[in-house]
A = this chain, B = another copy of it.
Amino acid sequence: MTSSAVRTYHHGDLRRALIDEGLTLARTGGPAAVTLREATRAVGVSPNAAYRHFADRVALVHAVAHEAQRALADAILTRVAATPGDLPPRDASIERLRRVGFAYIAFARAEPGWFETAFFTQDSEASAGIVTLDDEIVAPFRLLMETLDAMVDAGALAAGRRPFAEWACWSAVHGFADIAVHGPVRWQPAAVVDALAAAVVESAITGVIGAPAPAPATS
């Protein structure tokens, strides 16, 4: 119906078309908005056609979620790639970590629907089998791991502090992103959110790296 191809009984690549339409729906309405009937309707196909490509509605949402994760990873990569090249290696590796965090938060704020969808979790009866961590590891998380490893190599992070650092960083940044989208922060003016985000990211880095020693208050 669209483009040059004449409308035929067989669609060509319906799976791809449904995922794309799902992305459009998720963008404004989150995972709840990606509905089978709406997606098939937009593509110009009967509702049941979707069942030839996805077991469930949930299966479709998962496919869309995977794309959303990729979009998030792209956003991070872009921002990290723009790191100034004139920094000493040690500072550069820290700056890259900072950028991972900012990009993560910026993506959540700019595309809340996709962000929410990327974290959609609902086991669709099919995942009864044991799922290892490797199967599920998401692209953005892998980027964070690499960044932290690079910090160790650059001497910015003591090797002894490396374990668990990914969880501390991810938790802080993900938590703020969630709060900025769903929580009380969501009504704050953008400038305020920017300041909070900066404080959170800096605090997370301090917590992982180890901080400038505070002057202990003598009571």
Contacts and interface: CB of A to CB of B under 8 A. Distances in A.
Interface of A: 90, 119, 121, 130-133, 136-138, 141, 155-156, 158, 161, 163-165, 167-168, 170-179, 182-188, 195-196, 199-200, 203-219
Q: Is chain A's binding surface mostly helix, strand, loop or mixed?
A: helix
Contacts of A214: 158, 161, 209-210
Given A133-B184, A167-B196, 4 more contacts: A121-B183, A178-B178, A206-B206, A210-B214
Contacts of A165: 203
A73 to B, nearest CB: 15
Contacts of A133: 184, 187-188
Contacts of A216: 155
Contacts of A213: 210-213
Most B CB contacts (10 A, CB to CB) among A174, A185, A196 go to: A174
A210 B156 CA distance: 17
B167 A174 contact: no
